[in-house]
Amino acid sequence: MQTITTTEELTAFCARAKGVPYVTVDTEFLRERTYYSKLCLIQLALPGDDPADAVLIDPISGDLSLDPLLELFRAEDTIKVFHAARQDLEIFYIDHGVIPSPLFDTQVAAMVCGFGEQVGYETLVKRIAKQGLDKSSRFTDWSRRPLTDAQKTYALADVTHLRQIYEFLNRKLEESGRGRWVKEELATLTTPDTYITRPEDAWKRVKTRSNSPKFLAVVRELAQFRESYAQERNIPRNRVFKDDALVELASTKPANMQDLGRSRLLLREARKGPIAEGILTAVKAGLECPRDQLPVVPKDKDRGQGNPALADLLRVLLKAKSENSGVASKLIAPVADLDAIASGDRSVAALRGWRREVFGEDALRLCEGQVALAVKGATVDVIEIPD
């Protein structure tokens, strides 16, 4: 098995790759101790079964520029195939400003083709390639060198079996006419904003029990400070302070170091120095936030209860539509979307694109009393209600 460590070797392989219809891609990285992922290994495979068609690219050994690979990622005649691509794409976008295009994600395609919700690579290898995977190297520290033959074999398997999986799923999509569905799903993955974390928006990911604008103003300032601090020092945000500590601080609103020392959940390192100072500054800023600049509660946190019975009917309809289409129910509409529709919200994803065709149209008709649900044996039918 070839391990590429020079720009010349990478240039030659990528030149070959530009002449094929697709290339399968995977990465190995570390992120446990950093904010941003550290790229440790890249795997590529071309169609076919020649051993020379699958290689490892070592970005941390030797004198290697990834420019030839980035050029391949921009080549519109070669599809770049990943499985569960989000973290891989984030690395290439954050480090190099490139999102591979055109893109195919086998996890997304598998959900559309009826393989269940967020199906794993190992499952697809077993069900489509009829092979098993040796997972003994799963917890490898991929930054350490040299890599063993077992580690290299493990890494290559993530792209060699992917060839057969891609070809199978691509055929299924052509037969079913659902290729457009996958393209709709990939729109999020190919949007740069997906990979940009703005400190001022970090508060929206923090789960809180209170929707008080004044409370959320403190949460916003604390989350912004934490995100900026973590990004600048390239450390995990939880190493600064965890979400439960953030919510506690927003509730207790410490005004000085003595108040900070009473926190039950704050890490010892955060009770002094720049983190402690940043916390106190953030709390003060949140408390002094002008009324017209207070946070707006996200819709999903401030949504009315709607009609519980209607929400239950929508769940029944979704289950029926999922079974009929062979598409995972959570891919069509998560529970939050059903509750939103029952509450009168018409902006959710379940009412747009291919989801509207599969589920949303009948969901709206159900809400408007135009159709009813009837149980016939093990099936649920949509019945028109006469005017």
* pLDDT tens, position by position, 313-327: 999 999 999 999 999
Percentage, residues of the chain above pLDDT 90: 88
Residue 305: pLDDT band by 50, 70, 90 thresholds? low
Contact between 133 and 122 under an 8 Å Cβ cutoff? The reply is: yes
Task: Let me know whether 99 and 16 are in one domain.
Answer: yes
Q: What is the CATH number of the domain that holds 311?
A: 1.10.150
Q: Is the Cβ–Cβ distance between 230 and 34 less than 8 Å?
A: no
Number of structural domains (the chain) is 3
Q: Are residues 41 and 149 in the same domain?
A: yes
Rounded Cα gap, residues 258 and 352, in angstroms: 52
- Mean pLDDT within 69-88: 98
Domain match, 53 and 170 both? yes
Read off the pLDDT of residues 15-65 as tens digits, 9 standing for 90 and up.
999 999 999 999 999 999 999 999 999 999 999 989 999 999 999 987 899
- 192 pLDDT higher than 60: yes
- The pLDDT value recorded for residue 221 is 98
| Token couple for 219 | 């949460």
**182 lies in the same domain as 222:** no
More confident residue, 298 or 327: 327
* CATH, residue 236: 1.10.150.80
Examine the domain organization and report whether 47 and 187 are in the same domain. Answer: yes
Does 191 share its domain with 206?
no
CB 80 within 8 A of CB 73: yes
- Residues 108 and 63 reside in one and the same domain: yes
In the prediction, which pLDDT does 134 show?
A: 85
Question: Which among 167, 195, 223 is the end of a domain?
Answer: 195
Same domain, 241 and 351: no
Choose one of 152, 169, 195: the last residue of a domain. Answer: 195
Q: How many residues does the chain have?
A: 387
Alpha-carbon Rg for the chain in angstroms:
25
What does the alpha-carbon distance between residue 164 and residue 172 come to, in Å, rounded to a whole number?
A: 12
Same domain assignment for residues 378 and 268: no
Instruction: Give the confidence band of 154 by pLDDT, cuts at 50, 70, 90.
Output: very high
Out of 247, 271, 297, pick the residue that ends a domain: 297
Range of the domain at 228: 199-297
Segment 233-248 shows an average pLDDT of 97
Over residues 110-135, the pLDDT tens digits come to 999 999 888 999 999 999 999 998 88
Mean pLDDT across the chain: 94
pTM for this entry? 0.90
Instruction: Looking at the structure, tell me whether residues 72 and 171 fall in a common domain.
Output: yes
CATH for 167: 3.30.420.10
Residue 178's identity, in one-letter code, is R
Q: Are residues 153 and 181 in the same domain?
A: yes
Same domain, 235 and 337: no
- Cβ 108 vs Cβ 6: under 8 Å: no
